């Protein structure tokens, strides 16, 4: 079963590829998918980034009619349905048939599910260890391939790129396919077959091959009536290991520039998995921090200038200091935060992480706590739902 891990790592390379798209290969696969829904080959328009694709699809709105897709399958294919709906239906029906062959359905996990993984499961054991523990082979493949690739490619990479470069707007065409970032669901079925856990009908295997070609050859793409907009892959992607990952999961991170960059200059800035505005990376200041209402962005900006520097520049008043019983050798510092700084009265508890970061350091971070709390131990206990006395009896926190 270690083969599943090897295959997943191979798929991850495609998902994070920064090589130029293989345009002939991608166009051939799209043309074949159009043929399967009874549509003629489209005209292909290549653009350098998803941001550039958005304007093209808006300029040709009549070719990219949006369609609302809900939990139910798109109604039966027909010429009166938009091409994007027919293509979505084609893929949905393929996945249903392959799920039947597998006898197993991939779960809809998202990044939050990795924050507190349960020990002794397929997500927290090496493949051979999981099998030895009696965990079903299908669950092992799902964790090593689908879950791990989803946590990296869909949640950690695709999501911030979509938010930054293709924000929703009135009249925006709907459905995009994500090429290399569709690798999670494509790899799931591919690996099931390659490790001998499933066989598919010939036509289904052929169609899976087309989705495989697209995941391995191109970036995002937008199918339309008579036209298909194809985006090149990024020219740069910068990542780091996810602290809660057990199967090679990654997240975007770069502290000296954009974490994702495209050839036309479209950029996405991410710090330790948090999508942030450009100023957080390039020019964080106390004034900009205090004007920021997003708590995670504000935290990332403070960490950029350093908690000590921020506390000094913001002139926060220290309420108290105490040794941290949950993290021996480290101290807890409680500061008062006036309403005018964060938009509400609060107190800031500065702590040292109980777990080691990927770079080997223990990160300092701040926690917002209610403004009525008067001592650091009570503040630390509040973050765990404990009293100060209960927190004081902890052996060690993580």
Q: Taking residues 158-165, what's their average pLDDT?
A: 94
Q: What is the pLDDT of residue 170?
A: 47
Q: What is the pLDDT of residue 166?
A: 87
User: Does 75 score more than 50 pLDDT?
Assistant: no
> For the segment 230-252, what is each residue's pLDDT rounded down to a tens digit?
999 999 999 999 987 788 899 99
Whole-angstrom CA distances from 339 to 308, 344, 347, 353, 371 are: 20, 4, 10, 27, 10
> For the segment 81-135, what is each residue's pLDDT rounded down to a tens digit?
788 889 999 999 999 999 999 886 665 554 434 444 555 577 777 777 777 788 8
Do residues 17 and 204 lie in contact, with contact meaning Cβ atoms separated by under 8 Å?
no
pTM for this prediction: 0.85
Mean pLDDT of the chain: 86
- In terms of DSSP bridges, do strands 227-231 and 221-224 run parallel, antiparallel, or are they unpaired? antiparallel
The C-alpha atoms of residue 123 and residue 148 are separated, in whole angstroms, by: 8
> For the segment 181-203, what is each residue's pLDDT rounded down to a tens digit?
999 999 999 999 999 999 999 99
Whole-angstrom CA distances from 54 to 148, 243, 268 are: 29, 34, 16
User: Does 285 score more than 80 pLDDT?
Assistant: yes
Q: Is 350 helix (H, G, I), strand (E, B) or coil?
A: strand
- In terms of DSSP bridges, do strands 43-47 and 227-231 run parallel, antiparallel, or are they unpaired? parallel
Whole-angstrom CA distances from 123 to 110, 153, 248 are: 13, 17, 11
Cα angle value 184/12/137 (rounded, 5°): 60
Q: Taking residues 48-74, what's their average pLDDT?
A: 73
């Amino acid at each position: 079963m270690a083969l599943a891990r090897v295959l997943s790592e191979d798929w991850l390379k495609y998902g994070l590829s920064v090589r130029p798209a293989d345009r002939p290969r991608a166009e051939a696969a799209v043309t074949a998918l159009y043929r399967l829904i009874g549509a003629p080959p489209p005209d292909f328009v290549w653009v350098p980034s998803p941001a550039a694709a958005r304007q093209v699809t808006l300029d040709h709105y009549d070719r990219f009619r949006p369609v609302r897709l809900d939990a139910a399958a798109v109604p039966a294919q027909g010429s009166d349905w938009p091409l994007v709906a027919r293509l979505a239906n084609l893929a949905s029906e393929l996945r249903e048939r392959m799920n039947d062959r597998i006898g197993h359905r991939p779960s809809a996990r998202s990044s939050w599910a990795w924050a507190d993984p349960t020990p002794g499961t397929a997500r927290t054991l090496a493949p051979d260890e999981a099998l030895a523990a009696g965990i079903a082979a299908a669950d092992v493949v799902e964790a090593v391939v689908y879950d791990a690739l989803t946590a990296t490619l869909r949640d950690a990479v695709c999501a911030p790129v979509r938010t930054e470069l293709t924000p929703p707007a009135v009249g925006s065409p709907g459905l995009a396919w994500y090429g290399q970032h569709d690798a999670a669901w494509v790899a799931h079925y591919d690996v099931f077959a390659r490790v001998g856990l499933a066989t598919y009908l010939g036509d289904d295997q052929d169609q899976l091959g087309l989705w495989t070609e697209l995941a391995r050859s191109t970036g995002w793409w937008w199918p339309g009536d008579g036209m298909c907009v194809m985006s090149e892959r990024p020219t740069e992607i910068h990542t780091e290991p996810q602290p809660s990952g057990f199967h090679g999961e990654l997240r975007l991170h770069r502290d000296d520039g954009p974490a994702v960059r495209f050839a036309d200059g479209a950029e996405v800035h991410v710090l330790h998995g948090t999508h942030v505005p450009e100023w957080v990376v390039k020019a964080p200041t106390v004034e900009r921090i205090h004007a920021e209402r997003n708590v995670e962005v504000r935290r990332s900006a403070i960490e950029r200038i350093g908690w000590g520097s921020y506390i000094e520049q913001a002139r926060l008043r220290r309420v108290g200091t105490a040794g941290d019983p949950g993290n021996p050798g480290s101290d807890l510092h409680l500061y008062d935060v006036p309403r005018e700084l964060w938009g509400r009265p609060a107190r800031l508890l500065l702590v040292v992480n109980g777990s080691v970061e990927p770079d080997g350091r223990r990160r300092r971070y701040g926690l917002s706590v209610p403004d009525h709390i008067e001592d650091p131990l009570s503040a630390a206990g509040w973050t765990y739902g404990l009293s100060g006395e209960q927190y004081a009896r902890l052996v060690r926190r993580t």
